[in-house]
Amino acid sequence: MKFHLFLIFIINYLIKPSLGFTELSEDCKKLNNFLNNTQEINYCDYDFCDIYGNINKLIIRKNCIENVPCIEIKNKIDFSFFPIFPELKDLYIESIEIDFLPNVFFKLPKLTQFNIMNTGMTEISDEIEINSSLQFIDFNNNNIKKFPYQFKNILNLYRLNLSFNNITGVITDEILQFPALKELVLMNNNISGELCINDTLERIFVNNNKLSSLSYNGIYSPLYSLDLVNNKFNNAVFDTILKFKNLQKLDLSNNIYIDFIPQEIGSFSELRDLNLSGLSIHKLPSNIFKLKLNSFYIENNVYLSVKLIQFRGGIVTYCSFINTYINCYNNIETICQNYALGFNGYKVCSYDDVMEVFNQITNDRIVSQDCEKLNKFLNKPLCGENPYPDDYSEIILDGYGNIIYINLASISLSNITDIDSFPLLSKLEHLDLKNSNINKLPEIFFEMPSLKYLKVYSTNLNEIPEIKSSNSLLEYIDLSENKINEFPYQFVNL
C-alpha cells in the first residue's frame, strides 16, 4: 500500500511539470486576457493550478510579499469581468481598490473560501447565487456600510467575518435566516441595538461596537464562545446569556453599564475562560467559585472589593486582578497558577472571611432528565454525581444536562439483560459498552439522532437488527470480541 502511494506521488510529481506546462492552460489564457497582459504569463508556475492546469487558488495584491506567489495589480480594475474558473476554491484579494463587489464572484461554482481585505469596498451585489459553494467569507478591513443580508442565500456559509468595516445601525432579525452560520465576527464596526442569535451559531465576536442587548428564542444553543467586549450592555444581558449553557468562553470586559453579576453564573459547568474586567460591579457572586476555569480576569474594577477563595473546580491557570482591590486571599498559589495582583496591599483571609463567601455558595445541582433515564436503566446512580466531569469521566453532559458521552467499559454491566430498554438520548455522540450480557443490538442505537461512535465489545452479542432508519449519523462502529456469525450487511443502510 505504501509503495502504491509513493508511486502515485512520483507520477503526480512528474506529470505536473509536463502539463505545466509547456503551453498555457485555458484558465491561464482567460486570466491573462482579464488582466490585459501584454505578455502571456503561465500562472501555473505560481502554484495556482492543479495538475490539469485548472486554476484552483488565486492571491491578488497591490504589492506582493517576498517569497509568496501572487498576482500584483497596481491600478483599479473592473472585477465585473472576472473570469469563471470552474475549479477555483480559494480567492484572496488585498489592497486592490474596489468600490462595488460584483456578483460574478458568487457564480464561481467551487469557490469555498473568499477573502477581501483593505480594498475600501463599500457595497456588495444583492444578486447571490443560491447554489454557491461558499463556506468562508472574510471581508475585514474594508468600508462596508450595510450588513449583507443577501448572504443568507449562501446555504453552506458557516463563517462570516466583517470586522473593521463601517457597518452602522441595528442588525435586524433577518440574520436568523442564515441557515448554517457557525461563526460571526463583527468586531470594530458601529453596530447598535439588539443582536439576534440563531440556533446554529457557535462563536460570536462583536467587540468594540455599540450593542446594548442580545436575544435568543431557541431551546438548545451550541454557542460556546461569546466575546462582547466594549459595548453598551447592561445587567439585562444576563437574561439571554444564561440561556447559553454550553458556553466555554465569556468575555464581558469594558461594558461599563454592567454593575451586577448574577449568582446563576456558577451554573455554567462548561465555562473555562471568564473575563469581567472593566465593569462597574461592586461584588462578585459567591457562586463564581463553583466554576472550573482556565482563565479568570477581573482587572480595572474600581468599585470592586474581592475576597478570594479557592475555586471548587481546581486551580485556575491564568488570573489577573490588576487595578482591582483584593480584600483578602488565602494562599494565592492554590487559587491561581499564574497571576497578576497589582500593587495593592493584601491580607490573608480569616476563617470567618472564607466561611462568609463559602456559605453563600448555593447547592443547586439538579439531576437532568437524561441522567434520570440512564440511572433508571443501569439501576445505579452513575450519572449526575460529578458536576465537573473531565475527559476521563464515564458520563459527560453538556451545559444543558444532555448526555453527550458514555463510556461504561470499566464498569461491569453483567446484570443488564433488557438492553431494549436503553433510553433514547437525543444528544449522545459516543457510546462505549463492555462486559454485558446483551445478545443483540437494540434498534434504539440506530435511532439516536446524534450518535457517531458506537463500541460494543466483549459481550454475548450475536444478533444485529435490520436498520430501519437511514438518518443515522454513525461514523464508527466497533463490535469486536463478540459472537457475531454473519457479516452485518444491514450497515449498508447507514
Non-local (6+) Cβ contacts of 39 within 8 A are none
The CATH number given to 366-494 is 3.80.10.10
pLDDT the model gives residue 152: 95
Contact 342/322 with Cβ under 8 angstroms? Answer: yes
pLDDT in tens, 179-236: 999 999 999 999 999 999 999 999 999 999 999 999 999 989 999 999 999 999 999 9
CA distance 121 to 141: 9
pLDDT in tens, 36-65: 998 999 999 999 999 999 999 999 999 998
Pick left, alpha or beta for residue 157 (phi over 0 → left; psi -120 to 50 → alpha; otherwise beta): beta
Report the 10 Å Cβ neighbour count for 357. Answer: 18
Domain ranges of the chain: 1-48, 49-358, 366-494
Q: Please count the residues of the chain.
A: 494
Contact 294/271 with Cβ under 8 angstroms? Answer: no
The helix (H) or strand (E) run that includes residue 194 is: strand 190-196
CA distance 286 to 312: 11
Domain 49-358, CATH number (from 3.40.640.10, 3.30.565.10, 3.40.50.2300, 3.80.10.10): 3.80.10.10
Which pLDDT band holds residue 6 (cuts at 50, 70, 90)? very low
pLDDT in tens, 416-440: 667 778 888 888 889 888 766 777 8
Beta strand 100-101 pairing with 123-124? parallel
Contact 308/326 with Cβ under 8 angstroms? Answer: yes
> Identity (one letter) of the amino acid at 321?
F
CA distance 383 to 392: 14
CA distance 468 to 464: 12
> What pTM did the predictor assign?
0.83
Non-local (6+) Cβ contacts of 41 within 8 A are 28, 32
Pick left, alpha or beta for residue 295 (phi over 0 → left; psi -120 to 50 → alpha; otherwise beta): beta
Which pLDDT band holds residue 410 (cuts at 50, 70, 90)? low
Helix or strand or coil: residue 264? helix
| pLDDT, mean of residues 339-354 | 77
Say if 49-358 and 366-494 have the same CATH topology. Answer: yes
| pLDDT, mean of residues 116-128 | 94
